Structure 1
Amino acid sequence: MYQTKPAAALLLAILLGLPGCQSSGSRLASKSPRVDKPTPAPAVEPAAYEAEATQPKPLPATDAEMAVADGLLQPVEVVPPPEELVSFDTTTLEEVVRSVIEYFPVIQQAAAGRGIASGQVLEASGAFDHKLEGFYESQPLDFYENHRGSLGIKRDTTWGGQTFAGYRIGRGVYEPWYLERETNKGGEFKAGFMAPLVRDRVIDANRAELWQAQVERTRIEALIQMAVIGATRDGSVAYWEWVAAGEKLRIAQDVLDLGIERRDFLEKQITAGEKKKIDRVDNRRIIVSREAKVVDAERKLRQAAAKLSLYLRGTDGRPLLITGLPSPDPFNTIGAATFGLDESDIALAQTNRPEPRELDLVNQQLRIALRQACNETWPDVDAGLLVGQDVGEPTSSKRDKSEFELEARLTLSVPLERRKAFGKVRQIRGKIAQVRAKQRLTLDKIAIDVRVAKAALEAAARRVEQTTEAVELAEQMKTAERRLFEAGQSELFNLNIREKQAAEAAAERVDALRDYHVALADYAAALGFETNSLPGEAGDDAG
């Protein structure tokens, strides 16, 4: 009977020889790039999925675009934790904020979501890829010996339909009821398309997934901004805690120096008979007590520096441990406080904060899903055209395979109850209601955050003024008491009390300044700013 041709073997070899996925060693060896300050991604226009037009944005097609997309899927290099922290002398708030934005792992973790979102867009775009399909079937041992094969390309379109083109060949002797499988000796070329008339005309599952992925890519930017605002606020608080600990160490050291300097004076006074010997013992007790407080202040400074190192990092991402003392200049400088809440601050915060934008984007994704769910309630009515032409020597004398073929199709499919589609619609509408309620609560929380932060900032500013005056008064009393003591008109006990009062007043002022700067960081975060620099704020020296 009929023997198979070499063309069939060639066709099979082509199908089996298609290249698969290949991994690149250079990609695996590449290092993850440094995370820069987040920049807003292009917004996804609502018209892309709410309008009646059915054409989404162009999909990546060029090799360059696909290479960029592949680069987003690079594996991230895992850096082991360092055995020892790198020492650093001192730092400023600007350096801490810059370090947080560029190297803080929480922000890097959020920024890595860009790669995930881009991968989701790329994955959703794959629904519109060209698909190569083929098969080969041989029946060499039978009364009807034959073989047939086909190779073609099909693609789901961005308007909801499908296009296809291909080639098939059927040779040999076929059963009378399978004569349609037979072609002329040159085979048959076919092409056609199917287009939706009702369901999937405006939106379908492929386009809905792509549009949701595009919105997700924008939503990631809001999540990154949340991470930046939160991490910047936490880093600023850690910085001011470290500065306050350094100031308290200076205060403890200064009051200790007073007792040490007084030691020589007491020895001369005791030798001259002006002071009692018990004053030497009492002064020694004072020195020892103050030395213990210096040790405790040093401990707190080291602990604050260790906490700050979590946010202060080098270019390699390793924490930097501060060993020196902070500069007191920025700590003693506060801005001019504006008392009273301006309602425009709440409106500004509700506009700047990323939480409402993130929920708006979630709402957009749900509305896309709702449109797709409503689309599934419609009947699936498709129309299409198919053309075909056999080539080569006719298989039979009837030449029934040689004529040009034109075929029109109309298909209909719809579940009568449509419970699955209506169930999806009900679920998504419930989720949209949840998001709306969460949006209202989020806006209310933002307003409360602004009010709380503003109240704390104003109270801290007043407290700085009051404690500054208290320090001045305590210093006057300490100076007057020291003069009386040196003149022999006062006791060491009274002078020690005045020195303790002056030190406590200075420590309270440090706490007030720390609370002011922390409140400023909270206020900036409540307004949605990534740093502590508020618009229109001028600095005044309060010290």
Structure 2
Amino acid sequence: MLNPSQANLNLDAVLRDVDRAFPKLMATRLEAAVARAKSQEKRGAFDPVLSFDTEFLRYNSSSDPGKAKTTSMSDAVVEVLDRSGVKFSVGGRLNRGAVKSPASFTGSSGEYFVSAKIPLLRDRINNAKTVAEQQALLGEPIADQFIREAQLGLFEKAGAAYWELVGAKAKLDVATRLLKVATDRAEYIRERIAKGANPPIDQQEANAEVARRQGGLDKAERDVQKAEIKLGLYRWREDGSTIDVSRTQVNVSDLEGRPAVVDAQKARDTATQDRPELLALRLSQQVLGLELGLAQNDRKPGLDLVIGPGLDLGSDSIGNTMKAGVFYTIPLRQNSADGRINATKSKLQKLDLEYKQLERAVQIEVNDALSALAQTEKRVGAAVE
């Protein structure tokens, strides 16, 4: 029974090996896993948080110096930050005894409340945690494009190595047949000389042809060995071991046929739309767009509304409670925000230039491939005729 290295090999099997187990591609997939984990980490900023706090104080009374007073204060709160920037809280507190300012006394059953801190200008929608999550989410498809880029590059190299081996095997077959023809001819000349039908000089010429064909066969065998070694760079198992490619059998008949017909304009359009390098740059522009929006947000004044209705229960309670307020801050200088805005705009301009350069390079690559395909079509057509 043939082992995998000796079994008949085709291009699909080579590409499967690359896609399944090539170390560089596996490492790139791990980078994508890191990007997904980063998104999960940033999503954690919006996880609800439950906190407990309890205190006991014995202190010198400011209203009656020299007299010790005691108080106990406990509270439990669940807080959650919304992606719009609003922070919601729900909880309860129990403050008894000689409560020390700024805390306030509660009824015997405690006070229960809900509250919200609502940004009206700065940090509304565009806030650091929301933008960080959005950027991390964009990091996932960017990582996927890096996988595709690595995959396509490896497929191209592995495919070229496979066809190099197929071509080397075909040349070896031809060299083997040519040597046999030269050997048979030398034997035929020997018999003719023995019968006196040919001069002895013909034997020297025939032997020289055999030696030349033997040299061609030796070179063809070495070319096969080099092609096998080159192909071996791309054949891996999932456990990290390599697949032996010596004596690998390939289908030389795969060289038969004509090149596929390709729509030139469609090829150019597809490359522009789907090349992973270009897609990654477009996504990176979106990431910088989010960063620019956050920097522009930081130029705004801060205006936050806080509102928190509650209910005080038990003996000594007052029923409905309310906490409300407005917090307003005005940045007197804008150097930090302006610096980030200018830096981000420069980065966007740089990405735009890189995109144009890469787009042009992709178009040139496609045109070169189309030209090579057309020339191959002509050569194949001439050979067939």
Q: Do both share a fold (TM > 0.5)?
A: yes
Residue equivalent to 1:436:
352
The answer to whether the 8 Å contact 1:89/1:323 transfers is: no
1:47 alignment counterpart = none
Note if 1:258 corresponds to 2:181.
yes
Task: Tell me the equivalent position of 1:163.
Answer: 88
Instruction: Note the C-alpha offset of 1:245.
Output: 0.9
Q: In the alignment, which residue of structure 1 is the partner of 2:223?
A: 300
Cα displacement (A) at 1:200:
2.0
Give the TM-score normalised by the residue count of structure 2. Answer: 0.86
Q: Which residue of 1 aligns with 2:5?
A: 87
Which of 98, 120, 136 is the matching residue for 1:213? 136
Contact 2:259 2:373 in 1 (8 A): no
SS at match of 2:9: coil
Please show how residues 316-355 of structure 1 align to structure 2 within 5 Å.
Answer: 318-321=242-245, 323-335=247-259, 342-355=264-277
Q: Which structure 2 residues correspond to residues 45-124 of structure 1 after superposition, within 5 A?
A: 87-124=5-42
1:169-318 to 2 correspondence within 5 Å? 169-174=94-99, 178=101, 180-277=103-200, 279-280=202-203, 283-313=206-236, 318=242
What amino acid does structure 2 have at the position aligned with 1:310?
L
1:236 positional shift: 1.4
Which has the higher mean CA deviation after the structures are superposed, 145-154 or 448-457? 145-154
C-alpha deviations, 1:453-511, integer Å up to 9, x for none?
A: 22222233334455x3xxxxxxxxxxxxxxxxxxxxxxxxxxxxxxxxxxxxxxxxxxx
**Structure 1 residue identity aligned to 2:300:** W
SS state of the match for residue 92, structure 2?
strand
RMSD across aligned positions (CA):
2.8
Aligned counterpart, 2:366: 450
Q: Name the SS for the 2:103 alignment partner.
A: helix
Counterpart contact for 2:268–2:363, Cα < 8 Å: yes
Inter-partner Cα distance in structure 1 for 2:280 and 2:153: 15
In the TM superposition, residue 336 of structure 1 has moved relative to its aligned partner by 6.3
Q: Which runs of no fewer than 5 residues in structure 1 stay unpaired?
A: 1-84, 395-400, 469-541
Deviation at residue 343 of structure 1 after TM alignment: 4.4
When structure 1 is superposed on structure 2, of 95-104 and 431-440 the one drifting more is 95-104
Q: Secondary structure at the match of 1:166?
A: strand
The superposition leaves residues 376-413 of structure 1 with CA deviations (integer Å, 9 ceiling, x where unpaired) of 1111101121223333333xxxxxx5342112110012
DSSP 3-state at the match of 2:42: helix
Deviations 1:214-268 (A, max 9, x none): 2222223322222232222112111111011111211221222123223432332
State TM-score, norm by structure 1.
0.63
User: What is the alpha-carbon distance in structure 2 between the residues aligned to residue 166 and residue 337 of structure 1?
Assistant: 70
2-structure distance, mates of 1:133, 1:324: 66
The 5-angstrom pairing of residues 25-36 of structure 1 reads none
Superposition deviation, residue 320 in structure 1: 4.9
The partner residue of 1:372 within 287, 294, 297 is 294
- Helix, strand or coil at the partner of 2:93: strand
In structure 2, the CA distance between the partners of 1:167 and 1:440, relative to structure 1 (3 Å rule), is same
CA distance in 2, matches of 1:325, 1:174: 88
Cα shift at 1:271 = 2.3
In structure 1, what is the Cα distance between the partners aligned to 2:341 and 2:215?
70
Separation in 1 of the partners of 2:145 and 2:168?
35
Q: Is the 8 A contact 2:313 2:319 kept in 1?
A: no
Q: Partner residue of 1:359? A: 281
Residues matched between the structures, number: 375
Q: Return the offset for 1:148.
A: 2.5
Counterpart AA for 2:95: G
- For 1:238, the aligned partner's letter is A
Greater RCO (CA < 8 Å, at least 6 residues apart): 2
Instruction: Pick which of 96-105 and 352-361 moved more.
Output: 96-105
1:45-69 Cα deviation digits (max 9, x unpaired): xxxxxxxxxxxxxxxxxxxxxxxxx
Report which of the two has the higher share of strand: 2
Question: 1:310 and 1:451 mapped to 2: Cα distance?
Answer: 29
Partner SS, residue 55 of structure 2: strand
* SS at 1:329 equivalent: helix
Deviation at 1:157, TM superposition (A): 1.1
Cα distance in 2, alignment partners of residues 161 and 274 from structure 1: 107
Structure 1 distance, partners of 2:197, 2:322, is 126
Change (3 A) 1:351 1:276: same
Point out where structure 2 has 5 or more consecutive residues left out of the alignment.
61-67
- Mean Cα deviation higher: 430-439 or 286-295: 286-295
Matched position secondary structure for 2:5: strand
